[in-house]
Chain A
Amino acid sequence: MRRLLPALLVASLLLPTPALAREKITLSSPSPRGQVGGTVQVQVDVEGRLESAVGIQEVTGLRFVQSLLSSSTVQRRGRMVTETMIRYDVFGEREGTFTIGPARAVVDGLETRSNTIQIEFAPGSGPPPAAAASGAASGAPGASGGPPGTVAAGTPDTQGKTLYARASVDQPAPFVGQSVLYRLEIGAAVRTRGLGWDPPDFTPFMVEPGVDEHNDEESRILDGRRWNITTVDVPLFTVQPGTVTVPATQVQATVMDRRTGGFGISLGREVGVPVNAVPISVRPLPTAGRPADFDGVVGRFKLQASVDTDELAVGETATLTLTVSGRGSLRGAKIPVPVPDSIRTYDETPDESVWIAKDGVRSRSIFRRALVPTEPGRIQVPPVQLAYFDPESGNYRRARSAPITLTVTGEVASNAVSRAGSLAAAKAEVEVLGSDILPLHTGDRMLGDARLGLGSPLILALLLLPSGGFLGFFLFSARRQMEETEGGRRRRRRRDARDAVGEARSAAAAGDVDGAEGALREWLGARLGTSAAALTPAEASAAALASGAPKALAEELDHLLESVEAARYGGASRSGVAEALAAWLDKADGAWS
């Protein structure tokens, strides 16, 4: 056992992990429940290069129809990865719960299998849908979404039929970049109306832009009957190698029966005619012999070059016209013009046209360049070349134009070059090569908490302190202003008077005659609204009387102040004077309103 352990460990490290292989292909269903007679969608997602067809074991009671196939290249973990998605419509022919999968395929060279899923069909209300059009109209065998691989070719099978539809391609094994014509042929031996079709999803092919579907109609005799044949050609452009199937589709038509509904009006019957799927094996372009300047152009082309004038002066413009035409697509073709340094060039947007001819897709592109010589002399523009791949011969070829000679007169031009004619403003558009995001923000700015909330202590302090301070200051100012008013002064005097009474009582308790007199005079001053410190006893009494004090009170005040002066200056007894002053204050505070 001890000897086996290292071997087992090494083996476990070397052997591919099944889990990794399983992750490359995933089976799923966005909505795994349906009703008998209806459909449930099942989807297979493949991450990586799909090198075989995807196989799912048949399940009794279910019928699989492939409805969508798409492939794209995305960026994952910093690298480009191919993702393929295949969608099936699964028809439930009976109720129950079914296990689907695993799906199997070869992905990136490895036999890979997916997970399994369960789908469920509940009892439905209607019968399962019909597999093909009813009555005398029926499509080619294997149609209606059956197994791919049925390619319509040669004379169509018309025995016992009044309608047929079949699809084919002119190039079942094209190269990458080659144009392919998808042809739908619809034959009708009866009168029809409203012929239409649902174009299938051509992904990953691109439908050639700027070229409309080409429709053609003719009559032909097949199996002794006259047939009206309608063909619809769709130009496709192949973008990546691999075997891809253009899925099955359907043609709809209204067949005009001989039955009438009365008054001689013919009745029509809606029929659907299935169209077969078409597999296409796209081959990669060979690497052997590929020119360095090959730009992906596939087809067979010729190149012509001409100038509007070959004799001109320095600074004048000659227009070089390059015409590339032939079979195939010139999508993205660029034609560099090698001119000497003494010629400045200005490009115009090329004139491109693509159309469907009897032998397939044809293109023509016209490139115009303004040539402005800056030096005199005989200047030769070398032959212009276009490297392309010829799918018929399987070789790379070159289309070449003849060389062009310009005779330029005049003197050497300055740096300012004159631009004339219709190409005066011909500036080349900036060629965008790609796009990317801006780089990381590094350093300490990634650190720290930039959040700040209303509950932050700093914010609360900054909000409360100034408002609190302002409120306090405002109240203080308001109070001061109130005290400057008549009412405020009155209140202050009353306060002073109350304080004086208290002081007098304290002084009386202590036998302090001077203190009691001072408090009395302060009280008097508060009541009179003026200082009473210097008033004589008679003046104080008169002032009190004038202010509304009772006469007896005023006379007693005079007497009391006289006795204070007698005690202070005349040597009279001080005993009881302070108490008498305090008693008078108490009396006066209550009696003098």
Chain B
Amino acid sequence: MSARLALLLGLLALLPASASANFDCVASYEAGRYREAAACFDALERTGHHNGHLLYNEGNAWYRAGDVGRAVLAYRRAQLHLPRHGDVRANLQSARELAKDDLAPPERGPLARAVLAPYDALSLRELLLLGTVAWLAFFLLATVQVAGRAAIPPPLLAALAVAVVLGLGGAASRALALSGSPDAVVLVSEVTLRSGRDVQSVDLARLHAGAEVELVERDESWAQIRLSSGQRGWLPRSAVGLVQLEPAEPTPTVP
């Protein structure tokens, strides 16, 4: 064995396990084993690596594997971490174009979108950090003010107070929304939206993989969703994946 190869193998052996798993996932992807790569990225996430880049890569793997639903879900979850990243936005758009259903994803009205643009542009982590730093600065300056060391301009304190509200309030609101009624993506190739929680109820619509819906409520077996048109109905819970920070049920392994 040449000295260089031995050195490389030695270095690889020193790498933490997750770093070498990182290489495995990318290697599978580049070899064209896309489902295997997607399962690998998913497994990496379950070992504790939760970030937008990993989810973006998982989305790419599902896209190449032809699984539109899981690709859209992975990209949407990546957006929770990287809301402004152009790559995530572009690939999500590409995945959405493959979806069969002509269904607009759930989003706010134009006025709410304009008003809440700064809030939407920040991830949960960024909101929390913004709020915390603003909180720290606010109380630091307030202490200086109370101690009479310097006169702090009121607009500065007011701006910091606003930043605290935006940051901490926004983070709390975002965390509540993600845990309570997150958005969802249809994962199966076709599923029937029904009027009730049983297969005998009226068929309302047929949805396909990649359709983005809003989750209204859920129980062990069923999920009530709302389409962008306002129509509500019930789907088997296993037919949808939730757009949330935590990974959901384990995805199927490579056949």
Q: Which of A's residues lie within 8 Å of B, judged by CB?
A: 30-31, 74-78, 435-442, 444-454, 459, 462-463, 466-467, 469-470, 473-474, 477
Partner of A447, one of B49, B56, B81, B124: B49
Min C-beta distance of B45 to chain A, whole Å: 10
Q: Which residues of B contact A436 (CB under 8 A)?
A: 94
Partner of B143, one of A76, A462, A469: A469
Contact B171 A442 (CB under 8 A): no
Report how far A477 CA is from B143 CA in the complex, Å: 10
- In the assembled complex, B181 has its CB within 8 A of some CB on chain A: no
Partner of B91, one of A438, A446, A454, A473: A438
Number of A-B contacts (CB under 8 A): 115
Contact B94 A450 (CB under 8 A): no
Contact A448 B66 (CB under 8 A): no
Majority SS at the chain A contact face: loop
Report how far A101 CA is from B12 CA in the complex, Å: 54
Contact A441 B129 (CB under 8 A): no
Given A441-B57, A442-B26, A474-B146, CB of A78 within 8 Å of CB of B65: yes
Q: Which residues of A contact B138 (CB under 8 A)?
A: 466
Q: In chain B, what residue has the closest Cβ to A467?
A: B139
Contact B22 A454 (CB under 8 A): no
Size of the chain B interface, CB-CB below 8 angstroms: 53
Q: Which residues of A contact B35 (CB under 8 A)?
A: 77
Central interface residue in A76, A451, A470, by most chain B CB within 10 Å: A451
Min C-beta distance of A506 to chain B, whole Å: 39
Q: Which residues of A contact B44 (CB under 8 A)?
A: 446
- In the assembled complex, B54 has its CB within 8 A of some CB on chain A: yes
Contact B135 A466 (CB under 8 A): yes
Q: Which residues of B contact A463 (CB under 8 A)?
A: 132, 135
Partner of B50, one of A437, A450, A477: A450
Contact B171 A454 (CB under 8 A): yes
Q: In chain A, what residue has the closest Cβ to B89?
A: A438
- In the assembled complex, B116 has its CB within 8 A of some CB on chain A: no
Contact B52 A450 (CB under 8 A): yes
Contact A77 B172 (CB under 8 A): no
- In the assembled complex, B32 has its CB within 8 A of some CB on chain A: yes
Min C-beta distance of B214 to chain A, whole Å: 23
Partner of A470, one of B19, B91, B139: B139
Q: In chain A, what residue has the closest Cβ to B200?
A: A33
Min C-beta distance of A461 to chain B, whole Å: 10
Q: In chain A, what residue has the closest Cβ to B92?
A: A437
A-B contact pairs, 19 of them (CB 8 A): A31-B199, A76-B65, A78-B34, A78-B64, A437-B90, A437-B91, A437-B94, A440-B57, A441-B56, A447-B54, A449-B48, A449-B51, A451-B245, A454-B168, A454-B175, A462-B132, A473-B146, A474-B143, A477-B147
Report how far A487 CA is from B66 CA in the complex, Å: 81
Report how far A449 CA is from B51 CA in the complex, Å: 6
Q: In chain A, what residue has the closest Cβ to B31?
A: A78
Report how far A45 CA is from B66 CA in the complex, Å: 17
Question: For window 102-126 of chain B, which residues contact chain A by CB distance below 8 Å?
Answer: 123-125
Report how far A477 CA is from B48 CA in the complex, Å: 47
In the A-B complex, the 7 residue pairs with the closest CB atoms: A466-B139, A450-B51, A441-B53, A452-B125, A470-B139, A437-B91, A76-B66
